[in-house]
Amino acid sequence: MNDAGSLALTATGLVKDYPGEGSATRVLRGVDFAVDRGELCAVVGPSGAGKTTLLYLLGGLARPSQGEVWVAGKPIFQLDDEALSALRNRHLGFVFQYHHLLTEFDAADNVALPLRVGGLSARAARRKACELLETMGLSHRLGHRPGELSGGEQQRVAIARALVTDPEVLLADEPTGNLDKTNSEAVFALLMKAAHEGGRAVVMVTHNPDLAGKADRVVRMEDGAIL
């Protein structure tokens, strides 16, 4: 870790309980976590270790039972839902194992969507989306819908959508889980570029030991805690 001023995201004391019959199940057990700008951190561990739950809390997609996360200098769980949604749209990017692209939109309009949500005009949003897709080698796919793209292309479009608002933090949950080795390495290279050249903090949950080994830092989780 570098000095506190370089940290893009910090979490302290994260606990997450899920109610059950009789007693709650504790999925996270007081996790502290931080990631620097310009760093790609891989989070690894067995299924059920709490990796995805941690990622959802870091991104404000779920609220913790205890603890806090700071993004852009703000304690995000002190925000109401509307303010938290606005912060997510501006400061956080998300990539999931499944691309979650809208089937009725072409690649460029899928990437432009977060900009439209943020209030940018349709023309300006599409122009910026096209420019970003072109830098990712997808200039020939701008007008193609998700069903016309390969799995690797779909995930590259999903990464472009996550990056188009220029977020400080990019959170990726098994982004190569459905891809072959060649496409997995291409997607990982884009995430590494987003960190090293884009100055973003990138957190990637992965079961792929080869990719994890190439990350700047590896965090291992077991039984809801960081080892």
pTM of the predicted structure, to 2 decimals: 0.90
Taking only the tens place, the pLDDT of each residue in 3-13 is 445 789 999 99
**CA dihedral for 116, 172, 224, 31, sign (positive or negative):** negative
With CA atoms as reference, report the closest residue to 177 among 207, 146, 210: 207
pLDDT of residue 5: 54
Q: Tokens standing for 120?
A: 């940018």
DSSP secondary structure code for residue 68 in this structure: E
Return the residue matching tokens 């931080």. 34
Taking only the tens place, the pLDDT of each residue in 8-57 is 999 999 999 988 777 888 999 999 999 999 999 999 999 989 999 999 99
Torsion, Cα of 181, 154, 54, 170 (10° steps) = 100
pLDDT of residue 2: 43
CA–CA gap between residue 178 and residue 20 (Å, rounded): 31
CA–CA gap between residue 32 and residue 17 (Å, rounded): 16
36 neighbors 217 (Cβ within 8 angstroms): no
Domains of the chain, each with CATH number or no CATH = 4-103+155-226 (3.40.50.300)
Predicted confidence band of residue 180 (pLDDT cuts 50, 70, 90): confident
**DSSP states along 91-150:** HEEEE-SS----TTS-HHHHHHHHHHHTT--HHHHHHHHHHHHHHTT-GGGTT--GGGS-
Q: Tokens standing for 58?
A: 């870091």
Q: Which residues contact 182 (CB under 8 A, 6 or more apart)?
A: 152
Taking only the tens place, the pLDDT of each residue in 82-104 is 999 989 988 999 988 888 899 99
